[in-house]
Structure 1
Amino acid sequence: MKLGTFIKSRDMSHEAFGKIVGVTQATINRYVRGERFPSPEMIRKIQDATDGSVNVADWYEPEAAE
């Protein structure tokens, strides 16, 4: 599940989720829009905060078949 989908499904603001994982609302916005890629440590924090609903594989899009 993508981070933005998780946050919306919980009716949570980016600011509230950012407080849970220790970053600003602006950082969460950038993660959701794909403008910034979280560090491995942050991916683990997000995975823990979402009880595994958002995991490392969700940050990578599958390659298009040729």
Structure 2
Amino acid sequence: MAYNARMILQTYLQKTGKTETDFAREIGVAQSSVWRYVRGLRMPKPHILRRITLATDGAVTANDFILETELRSPAQRVA
């Protein structure tokens, strides 16, 4: 199953030409955290979700991450 928020964040980075490192600096996290967000391996904490929304001017929102979590199967949620 496609990870909606991952695709949206990845697409945002590609369209804006920002690297994961650039975006990490912008939202105040480690590059490895953005790497995990993009690959669907980590759910950003609420205060980071707000930073992502602000940094992307609403192109990527908390709902994108939350909806993805809801769409995953129970087995995928454990992983």
How would you bin the TM-score normalised by the shorter chain?
0.7 to 0.9
2-side partners of 1:40 and 1:19: how far apart? 17
Tell me how far apart the structure 1 counterparts of residues 28 and 42 of structure 2 sit (CA, whole Å). Answer: 16
Per-residue deviation at 1:63?
Answer: 3.4
The aligned length equals 64
What residue in structure 2 maps to residue 63 of structure 1?
71
Map residues 1-66 of structure 1 onto 2, 5 A cutoff: 2-59=8-65, 60-61=67-68, 63=71
Whole-angstrom distance in 1 between the partners of 2:38 and 2:19: 12
Under a length normalisation based on structure 1, what TM-score does the superposition of the two structures give?
A: 0.87
* Separation of aligned partners in 2, 1:27 and 1:20: 13
Alignment root-mean-square deviation, CA: 1.6
Q: Percent identity?
A: 36
